[in-house]
Chains A and B, each alone.
Chain A
């Protein structure tokens, strides 16, 4: 739970989407051609080339209207489903607290895409081989390991994004939520062992489209936690049984032929 984190303060965000641009620029991700869908929200979804995206929500509130913004990107969970299911350990926990990703180790199975409770990782398939690769936010690993803040944080003009020690940002976020009052919420303190992206929200998480109680699916943990040991046990027993059979049968048959 220690380590670094990003604090996103939705109440300070103007949804200028400079973070989206900075992310593309620093990580050298290509822009996508999209069509006007009658909203400032663009591109329509996270993708292999889009690791961060601002969501726009129009919420009615007793005749008033509220325009709410949510940051959509990797949450860098402490107990990350993607790391749990990754068969090649291409996804792993970095000591600084974020969920790092080693592209060279990726086998392209896409289990992480299915398992992520926040629906974040995205895959792209090769045209001929069908071999997939995965992409997602790396928390600008190449920047933060060199004492720079992530590109999205660096560029944020309103101070809605902050980067620093998680403990300090937690305190900061709690203070901010207290001063906002009402149903303002700090999101990410305890979810999935503690997220490394914290949210200051002016309302409940559900209003912002965030899962209230995200979980690592049982189906994601079952195969490594249960089937792995069972598999070794069963295959081992089978091999041992056959070995035992061989020794006994061999001896017995020798005696028979000697007796003849």
Chain B
């Protein structure tokens, strides 16, 4: 309504950062339910806090930021938020949660093909050899498996250091800290990949909005998740 005459409507800054969402007229299909999206973004916020406060702790040059213990306290609040929300989600809809977790473990021949074809796709944009994918593609399954595995490692070692200090042996405590750091390095690296692929990769621009709005265009669903698209088309 306020668009100036004769001028193209300026793109909002969010489109500039996260890529343009599907055009309003396009047919949409639901990809992520509202509870899943809330879970994702609560996790995202918790992870960012955990990464930053953990980083202060991990790198001596930033140690001054951890002085006084406030960053440690924030680290624990974020950890409780992360674990607590996941537990709430699980008991809120156990069926959906189990189905979601199960997706990480459903592997087939299509996944091997995907792994072979993926480098050419992500580097050169060659789509021809990419096999049809279900709701989650192989890369997403890998990331999801990794989140489940490394996340459990972080929760277990973190809980050991928080609640079992003085109960477990000094060596067990220090090795927990060591493994917590290993998990930190691995999670941070993979999180960089995750953010890159969902926000910055030239082929993927705009997929960010799937996790924000919950929908993708039918065109995208068909080209990237053919098996899944066919299933929802039927039902």
Which chain A residues have a beta carbon within 8 Å of chain B's beta carbons? Answer: 85, 87-90, 104-111, 114-115, 129-133, 217, 219-220, 222-224, 227-228, 230-231, 234-235, 237-239, 242, 245-246, 248-250, 252-253, 256
Contact = CB atoms under 8 A, between A and B. Distances in A.
Contacts of A87: 57-58, 60, 63, 66
B124 A245 contact: no
- Chain B: interface secondary structure? helix
13 contacts: A104-B67, A105-B67, A107-B69, A107-B71, A109-B72, A114-B165, A115-B174, A131-B69, A219-B174, A231-B185, A234-B189, A245-B122, A256-B125
A222 B67 contact: no
A107 B66 contact: yes
A146 to B, nearest CB: 26
Contact of A249 (B63, B66, B178, B203): B203
B203 A223 contact: no
Nearest to B71: A107
B63 A105 contact: yes
Given A231-B184, A235-B189, A250-B202, A131 B67 contact: no
Contacts of B202: 246, 249-250, 253
Nearest to A131: B69
B64 interface: yes
A237 to B, nearest CB: 8
- Chain A: interface secondary structure? helix
Given A235-B185, A235-B192, A130 B174 contact: no
Given A106-B68, A114-B173, A219-B177, 18 more contacts: A87-B63, A88-B67, A104-B67, A104-B68, A108-B69, A111-B174, A114-B170, A132-B69, A219-B171, A227-B178, A231-B58, A238-B189, A238-B190, A238-B192, A242-B200, A249-B125, A250-B202, A253-B203
B227 interface: no
Nearest to A87: B57
Nearest to B76: A130
B194 to A, nearest CB: 11
B196 interface: yes
B171 A246 contact: no
Contacts of B182: 227
Nearest to B121: A249
Contacts of B68: 104, 106-107, 131
